[in-house]
Amino acid sequence: MKKLSGDIMQEYPSYKLNRIAEADQTDLITVIVACYNIETYIRRCVDSITAQTYKNLEILITDDGSTDCSGSICDELASKDSRIKVFHTDNHGLGLARDYAMDRASGTYITFVDGDDHIEPRMYEEMMAAMKAFDTDIVVAGYENVYESKNTKAKSINLTGTKESTKEPIKESTKESTKELAKESSANGEDLQNVTASKDEVCYLSDLALMNSENLLRALVEEDEKYVVQNCAWNKLYKRSLVEEGDKLRFPEGHYEDIVYTTKLLNKVKSGVVICDKLYNYIIDRSGSIMNQGVKWDILTQQIPAYKARNKVLVDAGYPELAYIHQYMVYKKLLLLYTQVRRSKDPEKKAKMDALAEVIRGVKNNYAKVYSCRIADPHQELRMKLFLKNTMLYNSFMAVNDTFIIPVKIWVSNKL
């Protein structure tokens, strides 16, 4: 069993995770699904959960006041699988729908799936294998962005329990492969007996990293592109005791509920594993999705306050450096949002630009520390300086950039 030494992130390329036989799947996982008016997607979602190779599941679905056929579909699915329980509530939003199920969960571990997404059949077995191999509080998996309107899915789900992918379970069927395993194991400081496999054993192969709480928060705040932690609730599996013991952790009401929840959660853990393997399929272009509605006013009324609340969590947890990095990432996003609104034909464009500009100017309070943080980009600082000096000049510069500079760069890139 691997243990974290010190506060340095430990990376394990092509790590072999032993599969868990059904007889050994003794730990109950509670899978929570919030459902609201997604009759086109909910069956696929639940089918992908019931098809998991890890069978010991409690599947709790909160029908959050759906007005379409979602609720009846959930009831039908529950009638066919005793692991499914459906709760019908009034519409209170995603966060409170999750909370309702969390208060009724009985699993040792807990995880979430959004009702319009779906997961790979091996997701929870592979994550539990990592949990056991490293004795951690949490496991985070990679995910795939799925563009359904363009029919561009990087990988497709197969509910038979297998997947067309280079990440299939690896069969260790020859003495030669066992020797290779032993060689790699020795290099990693592992005991030979832990990797000597019988010919019928299989394992999952994935790049992964073992991290402590600070490194998990750093990967979250800095938006690490290899070890993707993200705000989202749905790519994480963790001990339910983390959210039940001490200060009970629940989702707040409203949009962007994951931002503060995830930060507080990661601050509670001692160690975690981040798996690069993409086990979750995230639908990003569903009609009616909150994430598919452009720049809305709730960016200002809910997302920015959530980011401020996260900053306080980081400071209170004793991570002032991470708080400044977080502010840098937020102001970088706000400039991008400002430009997005400027380019749009939104009838409320001017009002939104003015509101965003007022928030962006708040960087003056901590400008030196924000733009001297470890990941600060000098080009981003120049943009911010220009914005703070003269917003109209900044808009003129970005207009020139959109009209001439970007098209030229694209043309040169295509020629090369």
pLDDT digits (tens, 9 = 90+) for 352-404: 999 999 999 999 999 999 999 999 999 999 999 999 999 999 988 888 877 76
Residues composing the chain: 416
Query: In this structure, is residue 121 part of a structural domain?
Result: yes
260 and 318 part of one domain: no
41 and 121 part of one domain: yes
**DSSP helix/strand/coil, 209:** strand
356 and 215 part of one domain: no
Listing DSSP states for 290-321 in one string gives GGGS-S-THIIIIIHHHHHHHHHHHHHTT-HH
Tokens 């969390």 map to which residue?
102
Query: In this structure, is residue 172 part of a structural domain?
Result: no
332 and 269 part of one domain: no
pLDDT digits (tens, 9 = 90+) for 141-157: 999 999 877 655 544 33
277 and 389 part of one domain: no
Residue 305: CB atoms within 10 Å: 15
pLDDT digits (tens, 9 = 90+) for 323-346: 999 999 999 999 999 999 998 889
- Residues 6 or more apart whose Cβ sits within 8 Å of residue 58: 28, 29, 30, 31, 83, 85, 105, 106, 107
Query: CATH number for the domain including 46?
Result: 3.90.550.10
- Residues 6 or more apart whose Cβ sits within 8 Å of residue 410: none
Query: In this structure, is residue 197 part of a structural domain?
Result: no
125 and 50 part of one domain: yes
- Residues 6 or more apart whose Cβ sits within 8 Å of residue 267: 213, 217, 313, 317
Query: In this structure, is residue 185 part of a structural domain?
Result: no
Mean pLDDT of 131-138: 97
28 and 43 part of one domain: yes
Query: In this structure, is residue 263 part of a structural domain?
Result: yes
Q: Select from 276, 292, 308 the last residue of a domain.
A: 292
pLDDT digits (tens, 9 = 90+) for 1-53: 665 555 679 999 999 999 999 999 999 999 999 999 999 999 999 999 999 99
Residue 408 confidence (pLDDT) above 70: no
Query: In this structure, is residue 1 part of a structural domain?
Result: no
280 and 241 part of one domain: yes
Closest CA to 42 of 17, 66, 8, 16: 66
Q: Report how far residue 30's alpha carbon sits from residue 240's, in angstroms, rounded to the nearest whole number.
A: 9
Q: Select from 273, 292, 311 the last residue of a domain.
A: 292
pTM for the whole structure: 0.84
Q: What is the pLDDT of residue 8?
A: 74
60 and 118 part of one domain: yes
- Interstrand relation of 202-212 and 170-171 (parallel, antiparallel or unpaired): antiparallel
What is the domain count for the chain?
2
Q: Report how far residue 2's alpha carbon sits from residue 214's, in angstroms, rounded to the nearest whole number.
A: 18
42 and 57 part of one domain: yes
214 and 288 part of one domain: yes
Q: What is the pLDDT of residue 1?
A: 62
134 and 257 part of one domain: yes
Domain that holds residue 340: 298-415
